[in-house]
Structure 1
Amino acid sequence: MRIAILGAGSIAYGNAALLASLGHEPVLWSPSGRSAGSLANGEPLVAQGAIEGRFRMDVARSIAEAVGSAEVVLFALPANGHRMAMDAAAPHFKPGQVAIISSHTSFSGLYLARAIAERGLDIPVVVWGTTVTAGRRAGDAAVNVSTVRAKVDMATIPVSAAARGLKICQVLFGERFVERADALAISLSNLNPQNHLGIALCNFTRMEHGETWGQNENNTDSVGRLLEALDAERIAIAEAAGYTVRTIREHYHLSFHVEPGPVGEMARELAARGNGGNGPTSTDTRYVLEDAPFGLYPTVLLGRLTGREAKLHQAGIDIFSALYGRDFAGENDLLGPLGFADMTLAQLKALVRDGWPVEKAA
């Protein structure tokens, strides 16, 4: 199957390597036009770690070429690039395709679903709670894949297309997907923003000094307690909205195959295995620049919708904004166009269930 991968970072490269290793035909598109040049010139993508191999890659010269040639379109780029990529891709979708977002943050699935519906197309949008692969790019033609997750939550907009969405994910990536109720359940299942908040905040000067530091090694007992306190806010919001989602301990257990326990202890076990890789070596990191506006802020708004304040999430946004001298809540460019601030919980739940009616979307 031919899959357009929109993005050229670590997640895009990891997905491309995994898909190629499973016999599919990924075609990469670089939003900046500066990445993947070596691959476009015929060099193989070299994957190491959880995926080993050398894979020839197609690189599209334009997004029209990438989307138009594919059966599935996979968005594999940071959330602060979702609106740009979705606006660019929407005019080129065609009947019969499926869109996948890896991973779903700030209800970008709704943004994409509306853009597709406005074209009069009935195309399901599959959203994941996290990425299938984790790792780091190791150059223009190399990727170190630290893990291929055993379980990934997914849902489809609209819910009526769930069986088709699940089938496509399984055909592409295997039997690793856990179907959830809807895209709101997926948003509430995404632990990355809260986990990255605790890890980045508690190791901020390491990042600022450009040190090399082990992420799990420095996810100490104290950091683990902060992550579990953040997790308690997320769980309370989910329960108030009528959803049951996995805890952080269950996430670590299922994603990284470690026995459940306090998060600090689980991180130590992973560090002893050499699993987890290094933390960011710069303050120019998605752990803050992506996750504060597009992960933490939506959780704060969901807390207001459900009457369950996310005080630690809000504090994290405020502290990061002070550290960077920026307004991270104001940098979210997805929720405003969706009219999120004026929605009720019932309206939001209806949208993630039914999507945007094609005949009324415009």
Structure 2
Amino acid sequence: MTIAVLGAGNSGLAMSAHLSQLGCDVNLWNRTRHNIEKLIRTKTIFCEGLKENSVRINLITDDIDEALKDVDIIMVTTPAYSFFDIGCLIAAKIKENVPIILNPGRTFGAMRLERIIKEHSSLNSVSIAETQTILYTCRKYDEDRVKVFSLKRDVRIASKKMETVNSILEKLPYEFRNRFEIEESLAKTTLSNVGMVLHCAPLLLNSGWTENRDNSYKYYYDGITPTIGAFIEKIDDERVSVAKRLGYDIETTKAWMERSYGIKGKTLYECIRNNEAYKKIDAPDSLDHRYITEDIPFGLVQIEKIGKLINVETRTITLVIDLAEQLFNADYRKAADWLDEDVVKEIRIM
């Protein structure tokens, strides 16, 4: 089986190494050649935390035609803000029977990517699934090196059609597919994006520490205190309330963490403290980071907009977005311009 992995970031390196270990031919693509020049020369990823430390990759390239040639599955591991560019880039090059998995889809990623591909191609249908979160808790610490702290379990995955997900997973190695759990509804999976809860507010509220060049800190263990932990649970409550008004009962971030990592805690803060995989994860060294540039516009903003359309108040989420827009002089809310009453109707019947 040949799998194209799009994106050579944290999860792209981890997934490429993992699937290669399991016997797949992986074509790893990255838009910026400068960031993969060493990998192109060596075709080797050093991955701490998996069975083998040194993993040979079938192909590493910045040529999208080369990456997509004769592939069976396309794995997208790029941030959600790149989905438009990815969709435009691959629309005319993919075959109708080649499925795409967004790892993860963040919020409404599969819906947005499907629209983009159909607008830029002659395809009548395209099979797109999305995961709730990335399979790996991992960090890339060099161009060809990544550390996997944990492999999550029961990662939710869904598509508009249940049979699509079944057919995709059947193609993948057992050791890989058994980490996933098929969700009954794409809406439940996409509304269960926990990244927006765990990433945005803690980084914003630690802006001074993050920009201090003389110090570093552990993101989860140092950056999320009891007060910040209680604050992000308010964000989570609003996310769950929006989903409920749409007709979906989704799990809280605390319940997700307990299920995915096999831990317990009375509060989300306690779960974070009890999560061994989080102990060594360093905080970003810049505020120009996907925790802001991805998780606010393609997480919190999407929930806030849907909340307005269905009359659910999201005061805490709105506060975080307002703070980010003022700090960075950015218009993150434009990312939700595509959401309207018709989209809400579509979400309700998924």
Q: Say whether the fold is shared (TM-score over 0.5).
A: yes
Distance 1:167 1:98 in 2: 12
Change (3 A) 1:5 1:240: same
Residue among 279, 288, 295 paired with 1:291: 295
Which blocks of at least 5 consecutive residues in structure 2 are unaligned?
Answer: none
> What is the CA distance between 1:130 and its match in structure 2?
0.5
Corresponding residue SS for 2:309: helix
Question: Among 130, 134, 138, which residue is 1:131 paired with?
Answer: 134
The unaligned stretches of length 5 or more in structure 1 are 354-362
Give the deviation of 1:65 after TM superposition.
1.4
Query: Does residue 307 of structure 2 align to residue 303 of structure 1?
Result: yes
Structure 1 residues 250 and 52: CA distance shift in structure 2, 3 A: farther
1:77 shift after superposition: 0.6
Alignment of 1:129-208 (within 5 A): 129-168=132-171, 171=174, 173-208=176-211
How far off is 1:52 after superposition? Answer: 4.2
CA contact (8 A) 2:157 2:180 kept: yes
Deviation readout 1:75-120 (Å, 9 max, x if unpaired): 1111111111111011111132111001112423123223444422
Q: Which letter does structure 1 place at the counterpart of 2:283?
A: G
Distance between the aligned counterparts of 1:311 and 1:167, measured in 2? 43
Task: Give the corresponding residue for 1:343.
Answer: 342
> 1:251 corresponds to which residue?
256
**1:193–1:292: 8 Å Cα contact kept in structure 2?**
yes
**Residues 319 and 86 of structure 1: CA distance in aligned 2, closer, same or farther (over 3 Å):** same
Residues in 2 aligned to 1:37 and 1:60: alpha-carbon distance in whole angstroms: 9
Change (3 A) 1:69 1:287: same
The letter of the residue matching 2:86 is A
Distance 2:47 2:204 in 1: 31
Name the CA distance, whole Å, in 1 between partners of 2:185 and 2:143.
Answer: 36
Q: How many residues align?
A: 345
> CA contact under 8 A between 1:170 and 1:177: conserved in structure 2?
no
Alignment pair present for 1:84 and 2:85? yes
Can you list the C-alpha shifts for 1:300-319, whole angstroms capped at 9, x where unaligned?
A: 11212332122111111110
Distance 1:7 1:326 in 2: 25
For residues 298 and 149 of structure 1, the distance between their equivalents in structure 2, rounded to whole angstroms, comes to 25
Determine if the alignment matches structure 1 residue 315 to structure 2 residue 315: no
What SS does structure 1 have at the residue aligned with 2:191? helix
Q: What is the SS of the residue equivalent to 1:295?
A: helix
Post-superposition Cα deviations, 1:154-190, rounded to whole Å, max 9, x if no partner, equal: 1013445242234345657231212223322112111
1:108 to 2:109 alignment: yes
* 8 A contact 2:272–2:278 mirrored in 1: no
Deviation at 1:70, TM superposition (A): 1.1
Distance 2:136 2:320 in 1: 26
Residue 56 (structure 1) aligns with? 56
Distance 2:23 2:194 in 1: 31
Distance 1:170 1:56 in 2: 18
The aligned residue for residue 12 of structure 1 is: 12
| Helix, strand or coil at the partner of 1:144 | strand
Q: Relative contact order (C-alpha < 8 Å, sep 6+): which is higher?
A: 1
Using the TM superposition, give the Cα deviation of residue 61 of structure 1 relative to its aligned residue in structure 2, in angstroms: 4.1
1:44 partner letter: T
Q: Do 2:96 and 2:123's aligned partners in 1 also have CA atoms closer than 8 Å?
A: no
- Whole-angstrom distance in 2 between the partners of 1:249 and 1:120: 40
Q: Once the 2 structures are TM-superposed, how far is the Cα of residue 28 of structure 1 from its aligned partner?
A: 0.8
Change (3 A) 1:172 1:37: farther
